[in-house]
Chains A and B, each alone.
Chain A
């Protein structure tokens, strides 16, 4: 089954403790992206990746890192999480981004709480 898988689905942690949210897709998609969703603000893009080893900032990249060493994986790293990063996070992928009108496929979300 074609899907985007995020782990963990839920995480409660403390300020400053490094964490990684994994994202994996099995559709051989080139483009992957991370979003956060906060009440009243909708979905905002954090980082995206056009292909392996190619990443770029979205609208709200501060406090986050990403890597794209393999095509299928796109982890989101919070080196020193802070309470303002408490949010619902979504990973997404699409076949391509450039020169394409491909829709995105989303994971089920990761709810992070930073105390």
Chain B
């Protein structure tokens, strides 16, 4: 699986958009980009995933660059409850293993 690089921590003001970057420069053509988050020590929660096109759901938007070497997770209006560790993962659809890495700790500031 391709490795990902994320900043260890970020802050965001409440109500503003939170933009979390992820670098996956060695991604293969069939590997998907997934985002999960973990609030405190709860189980990780799936947010969104995509292959090539930008994706949006009720939680977030995922922007994948045209060369697919990086992506950005956007939380459009961050709230205090969005404070969590965010993990960017890439894996092929045929892959059986998941590599979470250490993620980005996002703190939403009042």
| Number of A-B residue pairs with CB-CB distance less than 8 Å in the complex they form | 62
Q: How far is the CA of A43 from the CA of B46 in the complex (A)?
A: 14
Q: Which residues of B contact A99 (CB under 8 A)?
A: 93-94
Where chain B touches its partner, the secondary structure class is loop
Within 8 A of A (CB), among B29-45: 32, 34, 36, 41-45
Within 8 A of B (CB), among A13-43: 31, 33, 35, 37, 40-43
Q: How far is the CA of A100 from the CA of B30 in the complex (A)?
A: 11
Q: Which residues of A contact B36 (CB under 8 A)?
A: 103-104
Contact of A106 among B32, B43, B95, B96 (CB under 8 A): B43
Cross-chain contact A104 with B93 (CB below 8 angstroms)? no
What 1/0 flags go to B85-110 for Cβ under 8 Å of A?
00100000111111111110000000
